């Protein structure tokens, strides 16, 4: 009898245990299904890229208080400010080709600026808009609202890439508001400012003009001061464009579910900036606001613009292709890398090859053609930069200090090293200092490995599809001559004549 009772008790306990296990499993399964359903119902954030053309971190959010940029300050206050963001190239088409693909331009062969005969992207590369469109996103590219040119409203946006593309096929249009209901969107807004030519102010605020502090590598000359003043006012126009974009997103009720990225394609268009692997040419603003981004946060780790494409894919819950060099910036793990890299190759008719490794503390620059001076002829810059004839005229007159005179030397050092702790603007080359030997050797190894691992296409001859060097230089020289023929009725003016024209344009002479 006792044995029978024990048997029934054991059966009862086993049945109860099984019942509890099934109930727990059912509950777990129900919770998992509910969580999955909730996750599936939560749409990814929309993504907006606002891209300024030729701009260093010259805003109030980065400490330049005389430049009024309240909308950019708002992005910084409501989101994250990156203090160490760098372009991979100091010129637009090369940089843009890199960040739209998420990989360096020297890997893809898109390193030369202004490719005369661009070819389609080679396999396996695909640009970010195509990857997002394949996943059902609505992808647009537009000029910033209110952009005017010659009295006309501009809606077409810059698509300056070094690969062949049809903007009508690359994008769904220029207005993200035309998407289907509930469809996530990736919208690029292109801001033409502060690309040259700067709008020359009709009047100058005397206090701002007098209080403007020029970097020490620029001569404190009235023309340089007015040119810099015009640049800063153009940065303020960038801020107004950003305000219009934010207002558009707010009016549609999507701002709070949108990640907004503001950045520039490379640094400011000044003699030591654009086209050079300097801090001024590579360091860019980067502000990010949106879901999951802590308001008022600051990120000081190294960031490259090629990180933006994999960041967008991660936010869209899409895998980054294996060929992407960039790393996602948002999420649980922020990349903490020892280096980012940059490259400069042909810019229009100015042939060169320069590579740079940037660490948290130093910049190492390798000039592959040290016998080519910094006054390497660039038809675009000679037509657009008043600082170039000014520097040459002042140099000839012995009116530049030793730092400013570096620009006018007939050669460059093969290697340049800058200590960013002591010299954050990267102006004083310490590569030959005995105390720099270990740092130079270490960074040279890192740079050599990057050049090797990327298959650096800049070391190869130009493709057969491209015009020859002589043909490109002849074409660009003709553009330069037409510009000065229209201005001075002289296609080959002297530096003194060009300087006089610029001084008159800026209201310094009658």
| 222-251 vs 70-78: helix crossing angle, rounded to 10 | 60
Classify residue 9: in a domain, yes or no: no
Pair 492, 209: CB distance under 8 Å: no
Q: How far apart are the first and last CA of the chain?
A: 123
Classify residue 474: in a domain, yes or no: yes
- In 247-386, DSSP assigns E strands to 258-264, 283-289, 297-299, 303-304, 340-344, 354-358, 362-367
d(C-alpha 51, C-alpha 264), whole Å = 5
The domain that holds 252 is classified in CATH as: 3.40.720.10
Strand, coil or helix: 112: coil
Classify residue 13: in a domain, yes or no: no
Classify residue 89: in a domain, yes or no: yes
Classify residue 30: in a domain, yes or no: no
| 222-251 vs 495-505: helix crossing angle, rounded to 10 | 50
Q: How do the pLDDT tens digits run along the chain, 510 residues long?
A: 344 344 434 433 444 343 334 344 343 334 333 334 434 458 899 999 999 999 999 999 999 988 999 999 999 999 999 999 999 999 999 999 999 999 999 999 999 999 989 999 999 999 999 999 999 999 999 999 988 777 788 877 999 999 999 999 999 999 999 999 999 999 999 999 999 999 999 999 999 999 999 999 999 999 999 999 999 999 999 999 999 999 999 999 999 999 999 999 999 999 999 999 999 999 999 999 999 999 999 999 999 999 999 999 999 999 999 999 999 999 877 789 999 999 999 999 999 999 999 999 999 999 999 999 999 999 999 999 999 999 999 999 999 999 999 999 999 999 999 999 999 999 999 999 999 999 999 999 999 999 999 999 999 999 999 999 999 999 999 999 999 999 999 999 999 999 999 999 999 999
Tokens 């501009």 locate to 154
323's tokens: 């060929």
Classify residue 14: in a domain, yes or no: no
d(C-alpha 491, C-alpha 132), whole Å = 48
- How are beta strands 354-358 and 152-153 bridged, if at all? unpaired
Tokens 């654009």 locate to 274
d(C-alpha 124, C-alpha 101), whole Å = 11
- What's the number of domains the chain is made of? 1
pTM for this prediction: 0.91
Classify residue 8: in a domain, yes or no: no
Strand, coil or helix: 113: strand
Structural domain of 398: 44-505
Classify residue 1: in a domain, yes or no: no
Strand, coil or helix: 439: helix
């Amino acid at each position: 009898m006792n044995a029978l009772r024990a048997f029934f008790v054991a059966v009862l306990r086993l049945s109860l245990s099984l019942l509890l296990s099934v109930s727990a499993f059912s509950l777990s399964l129900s919770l998992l299904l509910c969580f999955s359903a909730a996750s599936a119902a939560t749409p990814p954030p929309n993504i907006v890229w606002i891209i300024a053309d030729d701009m260093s971190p010259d805003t109030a959010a980065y400490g330049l208080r005389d430049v009024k940029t309240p909308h950019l300050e708002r992005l910084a206050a409501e989101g994250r400010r990156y203090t160490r963001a760098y372009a991979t190239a100091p010129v637009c088409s090369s940089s843009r080709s890199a960040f739209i693909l998420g990989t360096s331009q020297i890997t893809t062969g898109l390193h030369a600026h202004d490719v005369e005969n661009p070819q389609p992207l080679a396999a396996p590369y695909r640009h970010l808009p195509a990857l997002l469109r394949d996943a059902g996103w609505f992808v647009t590219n537009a000029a910033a609202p209110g952009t005017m040119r010659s009295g006309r409203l501009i809606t077409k946006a810059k698509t300056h890439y070094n690969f062949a593309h049809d903007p009508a096929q690359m994008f769904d249009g220029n207005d993200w508001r035309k998407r289907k209901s509930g469809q996530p969107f990736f919208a690029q807004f292109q801001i033409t400012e502060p690309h040259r030519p700067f709008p020359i102010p009709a009047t100058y605020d005397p206090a701002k003009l007098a209080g403007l502090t020029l970097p020490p590598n620029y001569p404190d000359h009235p023309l340089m001061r007015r040119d810099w003043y015009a640049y800063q006012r153009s940065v303020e126009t960038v801020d107004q464009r950003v305000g219009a974009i934010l207002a558009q997103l707010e009016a549609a009720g999507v701002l709070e579910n949108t990640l907004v990225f503001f950045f520039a394609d490379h640094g400011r268009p000044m003699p030591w900036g654009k086209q050079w692997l300097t801090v001024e040419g590579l360091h860019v603003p980067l502000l990010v606001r949106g879901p999951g981004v802590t308001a008022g946060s600051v990120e000081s780790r190294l960031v490259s613009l090629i990180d933006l494409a994999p960041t967008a894919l991660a936010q869209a819950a899409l895998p980054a292709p294996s060929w992407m060099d960039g790393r996602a910036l948002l999420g649980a793990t922020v990349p903490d890398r020892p280096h980012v890299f940059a490259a400069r190759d042909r810019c229009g008719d100015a042939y060169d090859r320069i590579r740079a490794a940037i660490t948290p503390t130093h910049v190492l620059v390798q000039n592959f053609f040290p016998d080519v001076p910094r006054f390497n002829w660039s038809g675009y810059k000679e037509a657009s930069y008043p600082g170039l004839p000014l520097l040459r005229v002042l140099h000839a007159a012995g009116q530049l200090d030793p730092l400013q005179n570096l620009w006018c030397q007939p050669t460059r050092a093969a290697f340049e090293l800058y200590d960013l702790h002591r010299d954050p603007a990267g102006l004083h080359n310490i590569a030959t200092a005995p105390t720099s030997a270990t740092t130079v050797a270490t960074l040279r190894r890192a740079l050599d490995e990057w050049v090797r691992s990327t298959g650096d296409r800049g070391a190869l001859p130009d493709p057969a599809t491209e015009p020859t060097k002589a043909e490109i230089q002849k074409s660009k020289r003709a553009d330069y001559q037409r510009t000065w023929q229209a201005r001075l009725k002289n296609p080959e003016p002297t530096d003194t004549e060009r300087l006089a024209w610029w001084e008159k344009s800026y209201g310094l002479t009658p």
